[in-house]
Amino acid sequence: MSAQLQQEVEQKCLKIIEHFKKELSGLRGGRANAAMFEHLQVDYYGSRAPLQTLAMISIPEPRLVLISVYDPSAAEAVEKAIQSSELGLNPSREGTSLRIVIPALNDDRRKQLQKQAGKLSEENKVRVRGVRHDTLEELKKQEKAKKISQDDQRRSTEQVQKVIDKYNKIVDDLLIAKEKELLEG
């Protein structure tokens, strides 16, 4: 496999891993975490805006999130966005600030979050396999066009599989770490 092709495969897989990390950070454990709110969109003057652009998120205590909204007229919209999100949180508003106490997880919620993390893991493994499929198709096209030999194509296929295995292991490791975090929280 050419160095350029390997670099492309690595870059695509790294993007998938970064995306997976963001998805996992959105799953709420038993501890407060500002990343829980990264995906949250707020209806603000007729359009959708990320929560981070409308407010400052701080974690003063392990089970407390404090959200300070910049625009007082947006405080109610931010509160509604949090209440209607999948996080299962109920903020209390004090002027332009929202206080959110993160409740301890019960066993049912832990199991639900573990299933959700497992589903996200499988979706990202499918994306990684898609990168492999696209790369192998490209190698077959190059071999048919006589740009590479059959031996080079076979060697490249093995190298692609090693890279894919490496990134699938990273996905598995991230899932194990998240499951452990959910059990502790």
| 117-153 pLDDT tens trace | 999 999 999 999 999 999 999 989 988 988 888 888 8
For the chain, give every residue range classified as CATH 1.10.132.20: 3-25+106-184
Q: Using the predicted structure, report yes or no on whether residue 185 has a pLDDT greater than 70.
A: no
Does 26 score more than 80 pLDDT? no
**What would the mean pLDDT of 52-75 be, rounded to a whole number?**
90
Q: What is the 3-state secondary structure (H, E, C) of 116-141?
A: HHHHHHHHHHHHHHHHHHHHHHHHHH
In CATH, which of 1.10.3470.10, 1.10.132.20, 3.30.420.40, 2.40.10.340 is domain 3-25+106-184? 1.10.132.20
**Res 184 pLDDT > 80:** no
- Written as one letter, the residue type at 63 is R
Q: Please, are residues 170 and 10 in contact by the beta-carbon 8 Å criterion?
A: no
Write down the pLDDT at residue 160: 92
Residue 10 has pLDDT above 90, yes or no: yes
* Mean pLDDT score, 145-169: 91
- DSSP string for 36-59: GGTT-EEEETTEEEEHHHHEEEEE
- Is the per-residue pLDDT at 32 higher than 90? no
Within a 10 A sphere around the Cβ of 94, how many other Cβ atoms? Answer: 10
Q: Cα(52)–Cα(64) distance, rounded to whole angstroms?
A: 17
Residue that wins the pLDDT comparison between 156 and 31: 156
Q: Note the pLDDT of residue 1.
A: 62
Residues in the chain: 185
Residue with tokens 């949090």, as numbered in its chain? 82
The structure's pTM equals 0.70
Pick the CATH number of 34-101 from 3.90.1150.10, 3.30.1360.40, 3.40.50.2300, 3.40.800.20: 3.30.1360.40
Would you say 94 and 59 are in contact if contact means Cβ atoms under 8 Å apart? no
User: Cα 181 to chain center, whole Å?
Assistant: 15
